Amino acid sequence: MSEHQDPTDAGRLWGGRFAAGPDEAAWAIGVSTSFDRHLWRQDLAGSRAHCHELHRIGVLTGDERDALLDGLTRCGQLFAAEAFPFEPTDEDVHGAIERWLVEELGAVGGKLRAGRSRNDQIASDLKLWCRDACDEVVALIGGLQQAFVEQAETHLGWHAPGYTHLQRGQPVLLSHHLLAYVWMLDRDAGRFRDARARLNTSTLASGAMAGQTLGLDPQAYADQLGFDRVAENSMDAVASRDFALEVLAAAAILAVTLSRLGEEIVLWATSEFGFARVGDGFSTGSSIMPQKRNPDIAELVRGKAGRVIGDLVALLTTIKALPLTYDRDLQEDKEPVFDAIATLRLALPAITGTVASLRFDRDRLAEASVGGFALATDLAEELVTRGVPFREAHEIVGAVVRRAEEQGVDLDGLDPDALQEIHPALDADVAARFDAQEAIDRRDAVNGTATVAVRAQLARAREAAAANLEH
């Protein structure tokens, strides 16, 4: 510690020009070790890169470099063991680490700060953290995709109702419905990949905001830390948090995908739908109603979306009016990102297990797939093939549906003579349009629900899940 430094200042990186320390309330609002300690790995990685650069330009001797590198290693071991000795005077993780290095190594510990600022340091730390988080979330998404692929493969050939407006629309394969989530999730993974690619820019050697005068090489930091490139502008490097916003936007959209999935599982598991049963390990009971079997995990995942959306809104609101370059408001950049990623770390494995645990009721699904006049569109399109304009065919089939409702039957329950009364084109051959399997297999385009199309789609979905799992 410097002879000019008050011992109570040891854990903060400023103070020499002040006659007195911060007020207790001012210190309480400014201290950030409770959450920025999550960045210790990234901070130590940046410090190791900085140590090598300081040695290259002659600020550190070889022995001093080695001593600092050894100290940083021991410091990391303490963090990994959750034994790092934080002090009440530590303002943030950067100051805490420097204070510890000075205590352990003496004056050489204070040399590490040369040529860098907390401004470029924290931007670098958060980028490194977000980079790792993007990789982790993509792999978790891959696991959920795989659960859908396995369920789709197991139930290939099963019929299910397809819905619009939560009203039965047309019959589909259950596998087609399940695979829809694979592609939604694949876009979610793509957003994290895109965010990672854009944030992978090094900010070190930007200094407080104008660069530095010691001859440090920005490219050397990028190379050592695995960044793709160096930030073009030092002011932009320390001031911008759009990378964190982009990660949060990807997280919020993913949380909404999971929320929609949670809602469908809740609906499917009701007595009213009865399409699926959630496994015991992902269900709970009632404290008062012994018969209850609640899909609580799906509900909790559905509820988490609001929290992650809130994290995005919080950081957007913080950044929306900040002038260049660094402002202390940016201390608020970390907690929303940490919270959103922590929430996804909980939600993704939980909903993955829930999906894998689902047990479907084939008969109930098949019955619902053709109920509610679900084959009406097929009948209208059959009339089109017989030369009836679709506008007219739509009206004709509407009349058929009205007649069926009046008689309390579905389309296949109408007497053929009654059909011909409505329109002469509705002859006995149209009965072939009332078979669900034929209706499904007629939709054989590459993105359709026909068995042959879904089988091919399943192979592509399996590849997509594997690519994210291996990311």
Q: Which run of H or of E encompasses 202? A: strand 201-202
Asked whether residue 447 falls in the same domain as residue 389, the answer is yes
Q: Quick check: is 462 in a domain?
A: no
Q: What is the pLDDT of residues 111-139, one digit of tens each?
A: 999 999 999 999 999 999 999 999 999 99
- Amino acid in the structure at residue 429: D
Three-state SS annotation for 117-178: CHHHHHHHHHHHHHHHHHHHHHHHHHHHHHHHHHHHHHCCCCEEEEEECCEEEEEEEHHHHH
In this prediction, residue 18 carries a pLDDT of 55
The residue from 4, 165, 271, 287 that is catalytic is 165
In this prediction, residue 10 carries a pLDDT of 57
* Residue 55 falls in the annotated catalytic set: no
d(CA 2, CA 110): 9
d(CA 430, CA 412): 10
Q: What CATH number has the domain bearing residue 79?
A: 1.10.275.10
Asked whether residue 103 falls in the same domain as residue 136, the answer is no
In this prediction, residue 102 carries a pLDDT of 97
Average pLDDT of the chain? 93
Q: What CATH number has the domain bearing residue 421?
A: 1.10.40.30
d(CA 332, CA 245): 12
Q: What is the pLDDT of residues 361-396, one digit of tens each?
A: 999 999 999 877 888 998 899 899 899 999 999 999
In this prediction, residue 411 carries a pLDDT of 84
- Amino acid in the structure at residue 157: G
Asked whether residue 135 falls in the same domain as residue 53, the answer is no
Structural domain containing residue 438: 371-451
- Amino acid in the structure at residue 294: N
Angle between helix axes 218-225 and 40-56 (nearest 10 degrees) is: 140
pTM of the shown model: 0.92
* Residue 117 falls in the annotated catalytic set: no
Asked whether residue 390 falls in the same domain as residue 409, the answer is yes
Q: Quick check: is 264 in a domain?
A: yes
Output the CA–CA distances (angstroms, integers) from residue 53 to 43, 50, 58, 174, in the order listed. 15, 5, 9, 58
Q: Which of 216, 213, 212 is nearest to 224 (CA)?
A: 216
Which parts of the chain have pLDDT scores under 50?
1-5, 7-8, 12, 14
